[in-house]
Amino acid sequence: MNVTDYGWLILLFPLVGSVLIGLTSSKLPGKAAGVIGTAAIGLAFLATLGAFFQLQDKPEEARQITGVLYDYAKTVGVDAEMSILVDPLSILMCLVVTGVSTLIHLYSTAYMWSDKGYARFFAYLNFFVFSMLLLVLAGNFMILVVGWAFVGAASYLLISFWYRRTTATTAGVKAFVINVVGDVGLVLGTYFIFKHTGTLDFLKTFKEAEEVGRTANGDLTAGLILLLVGAFAKSAQIPFHTWLPDAMEGPTPVSSLIHAATMVTAGVYLIARMHPLFEQAPAAADVAAITGAITLLVAGTIGLVVTDLKRVIAYSTMSQIGYMIMAVGGGAYVAGLFHLMTHAFFKALLFMAAGSVIGAMAGNQDLDKMGGFRKAMPFTFGCFVIGGLALAGIPPFSGFFSKDEILLIIGDRGGWYIALYVAGYVGALLTAIYTWRMIFRAFFGEACPEAKELEGGHLHHAHVHTNPANGEVEDTEVGFPGSEHHIAERSVPMKVAMGCLAVLAVIGGFIQVPKVNHWLDDFLHPTFEDSAIEQLSKNDSLLYFGLALGTVLGLVGIAIAYRLWVQSPEIPAKIQARFPFLHRLFVNKWYFDELIDLVIVRPFGWIGRFAQQTFERIVVGAALIGGPSGLVKAGSAAVRALQSGFLRAYAALLFAGVAATVFYFLVQS
């Protein structure tokens, strides 16, 4: 088998898994759907390994291979081929997507066991992974757009999986609409680029990049900014971020999948993939870098005050994706992808651990009602600590190496990039504080009733099932969460999945240690060798300063969180009273929802109502539809009136008709 054969297999396994589960769901016994779904993604991971080793056997200049399965049409320059591009970048993404997704599937086999939609869940989950793999393996813009749209559709299905919950369906629709806006940007941006390159193929487009940058820089910049609309929508960057926290309405494994291995990383991948174009339009690249920096700070401040456990991690995702967008926008491609990989490990771990805690709380996600779980859930606590240390950037955990490499390269560029460099370290301090605020509040302090019940050997179950978002009473039938709750301490599949991710969160950073090894740089070199921006910083003083500063800020953040939420828990209330404006600003998420409602939702709603009440009713309903039908009605009424039944009347009409005909021909002659 060659490299592209493995590439097609990577796509085939999850697609077959989704179709098979979907068609046979009613006949599958027990956990068969979970086994099939997990095996399908596991096989895709093995196929990715096969492609990886095949690729490594080739010389560097031969590591970008296009495979064409079907040539749909080739006309006026449109080469609409079903093609994939297998290169180090796509293989790295496939390794992360399939590897982490396999563990999430394994975790889900236990976590979703009692749910009435168990088989449907795995069919959706496989389809989601297939869509993401199609996106990252796309060899041209056409397949990229298809994969991009599939990911949006799959996210809608999974976020609103519990479709009888109004909060879940609302969140699903919100995510879908914002992603469609991004899809429109992606398609329009593709048009601008195609207009000047004359091809949809990636490699051919990149060969034309320099020429297009010289002759049509305005159009190229506009096209890339439109591509960024798609990237920002998918990666939840300001101002297209509001769907991401609401997406927590989906089951916890979905949150883990969206936030760690798929979807939100699509924007980072897109910018990295299009780097030959972005380097010809630096203004567009700067927009990406600045937006990423703003997002990481805004999300960090919201994470300080949110009290929903999953939403704290969701805002953390926004912030960390901000780092990655800033990195690839600033030319630190390998560093951005390095952080994408390590972030997938520790963020999936944190979501799984959060799911375990939520299971112990019988579905309640409110940090205000948690506490003292450290003794009752030692394994979950250990995983949370490992994930928290990696997220806070404490050495030697994986987040330490990847985050500091981003800031090193950004800082090394000098000039106005220093502002991004400073923002990155401010974000690092915020990250450590909100991460450990979450851990200290859930696991330290006096044990909550649910923790005490668990210490006594009994897992808490609520007498009445309610929606944690609005308190509505729910049943446990299809369309709602299942009747049982599962925690890692009592479930082998959950424990195995979390254990593997905990190990990766610890050792994952060692593939790229400053001054020691540059394995990831070497592996991705064939993809980024055409970059004019230096990837490896040679500024040793900035390197050592950054490593020291990152460590200090991480430890200071943990110390601040310990002081505020363990030693002196009365202080946060005093700070809130001292700075009420800031607290309201952060609690209300910088009022982005209200702003979007005021600027976009209400005006478009008013336009829609106006169009429905005036244009649709008067122009379409009355004039276009009612007019012709009114004429027909009037004509038929006149004909009916003439049908009197008198022979003399019909003879008179016949005579009038003949006379009119004769008169017509006389006039014509």
Residues 645 and 519 in one domain: no
pLDDT-derived band of residue 608, with 50, 70 and 90 as boundaries?
confident
Range from 63-77, 171-185, 594-608 that averages highest in pLDDT = 171-185
How far apart CA 189 and CA 271 sit, in angstroms, is 13
Residues 204 and 324 in one domain: yes
Residues 164 and 71 in one domain: yes
Average pLDDT over every residue of 288-300: 96
Domain count, the chain: 2
How far apart CA 100 and CA 423 sit, in angstroms, is 30
Residue whose C-alpha is closest to residue 483's, from 115, 194, 124, 171: 115
Which residues span the domain enclosing 184? 3-567
CB 129 within 8 A of CB 41: yes
Residues 217 and 328 in one domain: yes
Does 149 score more than 90 pLDDT?
Answer: yes
CB 137 within 8 A of CB 84: yes
Residues 309 and 444 in one domain: yes
The amino acid that residue 413 corresponds to is R
Residues 636 and 554 in one domain: no
More confident of the two residues 537 and 651? 651
How far apart CA 644 and CA 123 sit, in angstroms, is 69
Question: Residue 271: exposed, middle, or buried by beta-carbon count in 10 A (0-12, 13-18, 19+)?
Answer: buried
How far apart CA 565 and CA 571 sit, in angstroms, is 8
Q: Under 8 Å CB-to-CB from 453, ≥6 apart: which residues?
A: 459, 460
For residue 591, is it within any domain? no
CB 485 within 8 A of CB 359: yes
Residues 189 and 327 in one domain: yes
For residue 576, is it within any domain? no
How far apart CA 367 and CA 306 sit, in angstroms, is 9
For residue 296, is it within any domain? yes
376-402 residue pLDDT tens: 999 999 999 999 999 999 999 999 999
- pTM of the full predicted structure? 0.89
Does 300 score more than 70 pLDDT?
Answer: yes
Residues 558 and 640 in one domain: no
Q: Under 8 Å CB-to-CB from 199, ≥6 apart: which residues?
A: 77, 79, 205, 208
CB 233 within 8 A of CB 268: no
H or E stretch covering 155:
helix 141-159
Question: Residue 117: exposed, middle, or buried by beta-carbon count in 10 A (0-12, 13-18, 19+)?
Answer: buried
Domain final position from 567, 588, 608? 567
Q: What is the pLDDT of residue 482?
A: 86
Average pLDDT over every residue of 641-649: 78
CB 353 within 8 A of CB 384: yes
Residue whose C-alpha is closest to residue 405's, from 276, 507, 518, 553: 518
How far apart CA 303 and CA 311 sit, in angstroms, is 8
For residue 329, is it within any domain? yes
How far apart CA 516 and CA 281 sit, in angstroms, is 34
Q: What is the pLDDT of residue 655?
A: 87
How far apart CA 543 and CA 401 sit, in angstroms, is 11
**Helical segments of 279-365, H only:** 282-303, 309-329, 333-360
For residue 622, is it within any domain? no
For residue 592, is it within any domain? no
Cα dihedral 162, 165, 168, 170 sign: positive
How far apart CA 513 and CA 530 sit, in angstroms, is 24
What's the count of helices (H) and strands (E) in the chain, helices before strands?
29, 2
For residue 49, is it within any domain? yes
Residues 563 and 638 in one domain: no
For residue 304, is it within any domain? yes
487-514 residue pLDDT tens: 999 999 999 999 999 999 999 999 988 8
534-588 residue pLDDT tens: 565 667 888 899 999 999 999 999 999 999 999 999 999 999 999 999 999 999 9
Residues 58 and 177 in one domain: yes
Residues 648 and 507 in one domain: no
Residues 83 and 217 in one domain: yes
Token pair listed for 3: 């490299």
pLDDT-derived band of residue 50, with 50, 70 and 90 as boundaries?
very high
Domain final position from 544, 567, 590? 567
Domain final position from 543, 567, 591? 567
Cα dihedral 560, 561, 564, 567 sign: negative
How far apart CA 577 and CA 194 sit, in angstroms, is 56
H or E stretch covering 506:
helix 492-507
The amino acid that residue 620 corresponds to is V
Q: What is the pLDDT of residue 612?
A: 81
Q: What is the pLDDT of residue 605?
A: 87
